[in-house]
């Protein structure tokens, strides 16, 4: 090939190469722009996800300690207002890159009001997106209050509270023992009072029955004496035959009532010397007593008393009245 034909060919090839280079460069620019545009769109639709806050409240008797990470001081202040005057040790940190989680903070604030009052020891923690309450309470109602608050929220939560009913203290045991002793003493006193009242009632009934028997028995003897009489020789203490028969009948009656004691009372009228009348009345009842003893009546059951003319039944102004006043009476003394 001659030189004249070669030069146009080389120029053509050179131009072609130049066109290819320009085309490739333009394609890279478009591609880079497209990639840049794609990356910008991706960042706009998928923003960077922030990490959650995390914290733990620990209570030991009257002290509260807070550790963890918050996004603002405001969250800590909200929680602090819920614990009142309880000693508070704040060891938490602020990281503004964290997500605030205001709902978790407000729920924890509500929990702290009951937690701080009813839990002796325990903790409230929010870790890995879960709110957990742990500790020990002495009543099931305290645990149920926390469970109700957690159940009313959409936040993932768990209540690990244990109910432990404490035993009585030494002071409470002493009070219980004292109360038991007081109750026992009161019961004993009430029982003693009941028995005393029951015994008193029984005794009153017994005495009433004895009195009724005594009245009836005394009436029987009086009826016998009124019918058969107990008489003496004039101005003497010697019993008449009829009187001895009457006393024998009385002895039979006393044998049927071996527990009854009697007083043999002697009376005279007012005729004559009062001192002699008193002596005479005593001698006459002594004669009756001696006769009863002869009839096997125990002397300890018999009491003989002469009253002379001191206890008349009627006035001594007539012969008949004086006869009535001259008498021997049997009075029941009891058992």
**Dihedral over Cα of 139, 142, 145, 150: its sign:** negative
Tell me the domains of the chain and their CATH numbers.
54-163 (3.40.1520.20), 211-334 (3.30.1330.60)
Q: Are 285 and 326 in contact (CB under 8 A)?
A: no
| E strands, 71-114, in order | 87-90, 93-94
276/335 Cα distance (integer angstroms) = 33
Please tell me the predicted confidence (pLDDT) of residue 23. Answer: 64
Q: Are 271 and 321 in contact (CB under 8 A)?
A: no
Please tell me the predicted confidence (pLDDT) of residue 160. Answer: 96
Contacts by residues 211-219 (CB-CB < 8 Å, ≥ 24 positions apart): 213/257, 213/260, 214/260, 214/332, 214/334, 215/332, 217/253, 217/257, 217/260, 217/332, 218/330, 218/331, 218/332
- Tell me the pLDDT of the chain (335 aa) as tens digits: 556 666 776 777 777 777 766 666 665 554 555 555 555 554 445 566 789 999 999 998 788 999 999 999 999 999 988 888 788 899 999 999 999 899 999 999 999 999 998 998 999 999 999 999 999 999 999 999 999 999 999 999 999 999 998 778 888 888 888 999 999 999 999 999 999 999 999 989 988 887 788 788 889 988 988 888 888 887 889 999 999 999 999 999 999 989 899 999 999 999 989 999 999 999 999 999 999 999 999 999 999 999 999 999 999 999 999 999 999 999 998 66
Read off the pTM.
Answer: 0.43
Residue 304: in which H helix or E strand, if any? strand 302-306
DSSP state for residue 136 in the 8-state scheme: E
Please tell me the predicted confidence (pLDDT) of residue 170. Answer: 84
Please tell me the predicted confidence (pLDDT) of residue 228. Answer: 84
- 49-97, pLDDT tens digit by residue? 789 999 999 998 788 999 999 999 999 999 988 888 788 899 999 999 9
């Amino acid at each position: 090939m001659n030189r004249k034909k070669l030069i146009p060919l080389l120029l053509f090839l050179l131009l072609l190469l130049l066109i290819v280079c320009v085309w490739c460069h333009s394609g890279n620019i478009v591609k880079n722009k497209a990639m840049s545009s794609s990356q910008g769109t991706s960042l706009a639709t998928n923003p960077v996800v922030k990490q959650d806050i995390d914290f733990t409240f620990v209570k030991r008797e009257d002290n509260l300690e807070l550790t963890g990470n918050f996004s603002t001081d405001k969250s800590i202040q909200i929680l602090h207002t819920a614990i009142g005057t309880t000693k508070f040790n704040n060891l938490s940190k602020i990281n503004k890159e964290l997500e605030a989680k205001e709902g978790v903070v407000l729920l924890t604030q509500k929990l702290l009001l009951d937690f701080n009052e009813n839990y002796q020891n325990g903790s409230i923690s929010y870790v890995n997106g879960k709110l957990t309450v742990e500790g020990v309470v002495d009543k099931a109602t305290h645990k149920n209050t926390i469970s109700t608050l957690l159940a009313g929220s959409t936040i993932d939560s768990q209540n690990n509270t244990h109910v432990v009913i404490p035993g009585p203290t030494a002071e409470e045991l002493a009070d219980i023992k004292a109360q038991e002793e007081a109750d026992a003493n009161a019961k004993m006193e009430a029982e003693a009072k009941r028995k005393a009242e029951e015994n008193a009632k029984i005794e009153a009934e017994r005495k009433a029955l004895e009195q009724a028997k005594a009245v009836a028995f005394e009436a029987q003897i009086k009826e016998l004496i009124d019918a058969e009489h107990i008489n003496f020789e004039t101005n003497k203490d010697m019993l008449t035959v009829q009187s001895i028969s009457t006393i024998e009948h009385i002895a039979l009656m006393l044998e049927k009532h071996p527990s009854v004691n009697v007083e043999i009372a002697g009376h005279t009228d007012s005729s004559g010397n009062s001192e002699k009348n008193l002596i005479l009345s005593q001698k006459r009842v002594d004669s009756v007593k001696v006769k009863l003893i002869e009839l096997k009546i125990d002397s300890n059951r018999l009491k003989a008393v002469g009253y002379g003319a001191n206890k008349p039944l009627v006035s001594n102004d007539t012969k008949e009245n004086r006869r009535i006043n001259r008498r021997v009476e049997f009075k029941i003394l009891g058992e």
